[in-house]
């Protein structure tokens, strides 16, 4: 009787273990949703990190604390945060262009429409 029990246990292990390994390998890696869902989550996460400093008011300190998260959220090499009159924070490359960023902000604030400056000339080959 004991030998029959050992044979049955060995047979169950010999068949069950490979089936368990095969099932585990074929089920694939469990991920958090689709690509779109992960992108949405990442964007909302960065926005949630950028918002708290700005809730305290738009100051140079709050702008500097949120600028990194805003740059990641926008996917840009640099971001400028301004109020109606001053550049409050610059995050990223090309800080030599900060004055031009304020010109673009004034144009956008005056017109009420987005503004892009395409005539910016830079002699630095590493400048984005």
Residue 92 makes CB contacts below 8 A (sequence gap 6+) with: 71, 76, 77, 78, 79, 128
What are the pLDDT digits (tens) for 58-96? Answer: 999 999 999 999 999 988 888 899 988 889 999 988 888
The answer to whether the CB of 60 falls within 8 A of the CB of 81 is no
| Predicted local distance difference test score (pLDDT) of residue 59 | 93
| Predicted local distance difference test score (pLDDT) of residue 1 | 67
Residue 32 has, within 13 A of its CA and on its CB side, a CA count of 6
Chain-centre distance for alpha carbon 34:
16
What are the pLDDT digits (tens) for 19-29? Answer: 777 777 777 66
């Amino acid at each position: 009787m004991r030998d029959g029990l050992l044979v049955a246990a060995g047979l169950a292990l010999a068949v069950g273990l490979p089936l368990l390994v095969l099932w585990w390998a074929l089920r694939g890696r469990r991920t958090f949703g689709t690509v779109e869902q992960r992108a949405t989550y990442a964007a909302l996460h960065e926005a949630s990190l950028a918002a708290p400093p700005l809730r305290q008011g738009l100051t140079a300190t709050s702008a500097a604390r949120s600028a990194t998260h805003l740059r990641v959220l926008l996917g840009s090499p640099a971001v400028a945060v301004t109020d109606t009159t001053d550049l409050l924070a610059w995050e990223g490359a090309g800080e030599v262009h900060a004055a031009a960023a304020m010109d673009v902000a004034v144009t956008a604030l005056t017109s009420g429409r987005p503004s892009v400056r395409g005539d910016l000339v830079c002699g630095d080959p590493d400048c984005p």
